[in-house]
Amino acid sequence: MNEMTPLERVLCTLGHREPDRVPFFLLLTMHGARELGIGIREYYSTPELVVEGQLRLRKRYGHDCLYGFLYAALESEAWGGETAFRDDGPPNALAPCITDIRKIPHLEVPRITEAPGLKKVLEVLAGLKARAKGEVPIIGTVMSPFSLPVLQLGFERYLELIYREPELFCELMRLNTEFCVAWANAQLAAGATAICYFDPLSSPEMTPASDYPRLGGAVARATLSRIQGPTATHLASGRLGSILDEVAGTGTAALGVSSREDLSALKKSFSGRLAILGNLNGLEMCGWSPEQAAGEVRRALSAGAPGGGFILSDNHGEIPWQVPDRVLEAISETVRRWGRYPIAPEVLPDA
């Protein structure tokens, strides 16, 4: 088979067919700063640095996407929140930006073009599009309307809102859905090929599976149907539990899955309805040797790759700053060696 471009490879696997080799997404963010020899805060200060960082990372590791994600707190910044930067990890949302739930009905949905952080992301996406020549998928990201309030309100107040203030919860979902749809579509217009819809709160580890159809699932159906491009849902390390059928019904094309899932079992239960994105353990990756990394990749390929419908990635949607370059190199080399279709039976290291 002729070598495909990354975009052809990804589209082929999303169609549940086998491309030339397994596509892999190294969802690297802060590593771009390391690549440029600057600090994380400086790296995120201008779109040009992020574009350069992403391009250098892809040149180095040869993975099959460019990642337009900067950090999650950018969305809470748009709602008035503040962000704390650190030298060794992702910027984190500071105090909740909605201090009084009674003010929810009076909130205004932020305009995307008036939020400096969001504008920066749009410029990153436009810059990546200009440089990627249409051959590499560019991934935009949104926080789901259902999960964003963890940053807007804080975890505890949000859970109490869900279960004790249903009317205010519905109003916040209405506002957040409008924001999310506008934000996703702005990213697609700027250059994103697809949108990753981060929805950790919908994992049955976080909210009951029985509530998914009326909570996270209802919000996802209302939101994803209005996003004018392909979407993948990511539970950001959360397990899927029993909500597969409902998630598949939201219109998403792929699902980012936890490292604690059994890939073989998931592959069977997905049965062509959703592609799998995952599921290397990003935290354990920090301490892997190159040999361990190769073994983990081979096990994931063996379980997830046959038949297509599989993109190798980490389990969380962002590779920790502490993951060393030699591990990323080992992942890349192992996919290139063992990820060619048809997958060889010897891919399993213990076979």
Partner 1 sequence: MQPRSLETEELTDRLTTALLELDRNAARACFQHGALEPLAFSETVLAAALERIGDRWERGELALSQVYMSGRIAEDLLDDILPPQDLPVTSHPALAIAVLDDFHPLGKRIVSSVVRASGFRLTDYGLIGVDDLVQRARRDGIEILLISTLMYPAALRVRELRVRLDRDMPGTRLVVGGAPFRLHPNLWREVGADATSTTAAGVIPLLRRLIAEPS
**Residue from 141, 185, 207, 279 binding partner 1 (CB under 8 A):** 207
Q: How far apart are CA 245 and CA 264, in angstroms?
A: 17
The reply on whether position 162 binds partner 1 by CB under 8 A is yes
Burial of residue 33 (CB within 10 Å: 0-12, 13-18, 19+) is: buried
Beta bridge partners of 310: 276
Site for partner 1 contains 206 (CB under 8 A): yes
Site for partner 1 in 313-332 (CB under 8 A): 315, 320-322
Q: Radius of gyration over alpha carbons of the chain, in Å?
A: 19
284 near partner 1, rule: CB under 8 A: yes
**Closest approach of partner 1 to the CB of residue 155, in Å:** 4
We find the least distance from the C-beta atom of residue 207 to partner 1, in angstroms, to be: 5
To the nearest whole angstrom, how small is the minimum distance from the Cβ of residue 249 to partner 1?
Answer: 20
Q: From 91-99, 131-139, 167-175, 290-298, give the range in contact with partner 1 by CB under 8 A.
A: 91-99
248 binds partner 1 (CB under 8 A): no
Give the integer Cα–Cα distance in Å for 150 and 171.
15
The answer to the question of residue 289 lying near partner 1 (CB under 8 A) is no
Work out whether 205 is an interface residue with partner 1 (CB under 8 A).
yes
Q: Is 257 in the site for partner 1 (CB under 8 A)?
A: no
C-alpha–C-alpha distance, residues 23 and 242, integer Å: 27
Closer by beta carbon to partner 1, 198 or else 321? 321
Closest to 139 (Cα-Cα) out of 24, 59, 251: 24
Return the residue matching tokens 């963010």.
29
User: Is residue 86 near partner 1 by the rule CB under 8 A?
Assistant: yes
Nearer to partner 1 by Cβ, of 272 and 287: the residue is 287
H or E element in which residue 156 lies: helix 155-164
Beta bridge partners of 340: 21
